[in-house]
Amino acid sequence: MATERKEKLIRVLQIMQTTDEKTPLNATQIVKRLDTEYELEGVERRSIYRDIALLQDCGYDIVQTEDKRSGWYMNTHAFADWQIKIMMDAVQQARCVSLNEATKIRENLLNLTSKRGRSRLTHMMQQHPGNVNVNENIGIYIETMLEAIYQHRKIEFQYTEINDSMKKVLRREGKKYLLNLYAIYWSDNNYYLIGAHDNHDNLVNYRLDRIVNLTMSDEKAIDAKEKVGVNPEMIIQNYIEKSVDHFQGELIRVEVEYEPGQAANAILYDFAGGNIRVRKLENGHCVASFQKMDSVTLVGWFMQHAGMYKVVGPEQLRDEVAIKLKQAVNLYDD
């Protein structure tokens, strides 16, 4: 009998977790669901009041409706629906997560909302997934890395590269890499491992989706301060900006000329940010000025939008973009 009472309390909690302010349940409805969903027969309505009160005393944010006859609802869930939506979209577009794993994560996220919330999130049109046919062990690898960092242990793995036949093969004939892992960094829909090898003091990075056979080593990891110096957090962040995100160089003021329009304005604003300054020219064009890091990424952006924006300054950036454009034209002429 005591076991049945404990099970009933747990089942009442599970039922309440499917409710929200717009879909409360009263005692009669809860009793019916206990019978149909969990085969708990003969439950008295009055016992539901005691169960709800006990759950409230235990800290669960269960609220009674104003008219009381409609019953109760779970006022606070682990995440709001909009937060779950953001996480679902991020997972769905992550190229380092397989479609199978993305589906599992999506289902777990939906379990964190109410029944109505689940319906709201699943009835909308779904985006085309960005997930690809990647290693199904990615989740296990992340767990292993988190534990390795926690236990201050090294990790061991093999790394892959793409050969001339566009096939993924093991790098350096399957050499095993032993790494002091210091950070796992997310950039451009991929995870990067940041760490250092025993025989080098410089930081290195590896893309997680190119790693295979990752395990936690029995060897203790060398402390980051010993490998890269004092204030390793700042050093690692600087390394990420220069090596992973390719934001090399100093901050420079860029000037571009363009023909204003809805698309041109929006694309440039998204790239330059809110501190952009614009002046109009007599020919109807505009010149915009803003600050950006002098980098390969910056040149690549102007290559991508070469037909829309012309670099006015600085002269060095203008010349670099012009050289790249000429190289591209020569490539097609050949």
DSSP 127: P
Write the Ramachandran bin of 71: left for phi over 0, alpha for psi from -120 to 50, otherwise beta.
left
Model-wide pTM > 0.85: no
Q: Tens of pLDDT along 268-312?
A: 998 888 789 999 999 999 999 999 878 778 888 999 999 999 999
Q: Tens of pLDDT along 176-232?
A: 999 999 999 988 778 899 999 999 888 999 999 889 999 999 999 999 999 988 999
Domain segments of the chain as ranges: 1-74, 81-123, 139-244, 251-331
User: What is the Cα 315 distance to its own chain's centre?
Assistant: 38
d(CA 107, CA 113): 11
Class of domain 1-74: mainly alpha
288 SS3 class: strand
Q: Which residues contact 233 (CB under 8 A, 6 or more apart)?
A: none
CATH topology of domain 251-331: Alpha-Beta Plaits (3.30.70)
Q: Tens of pLDDT along 135-168?
A: 678 889 999 999 999 999 999 999 998 887 778 8
With bands split at pLDDT 50, 70 and 90, how would you rate the model's confidence at 93?
A: confident
| Paired sense of beta strands 286-293 and 190-196, if any | unpaired
Same fold, 1-74 and 251-331: no
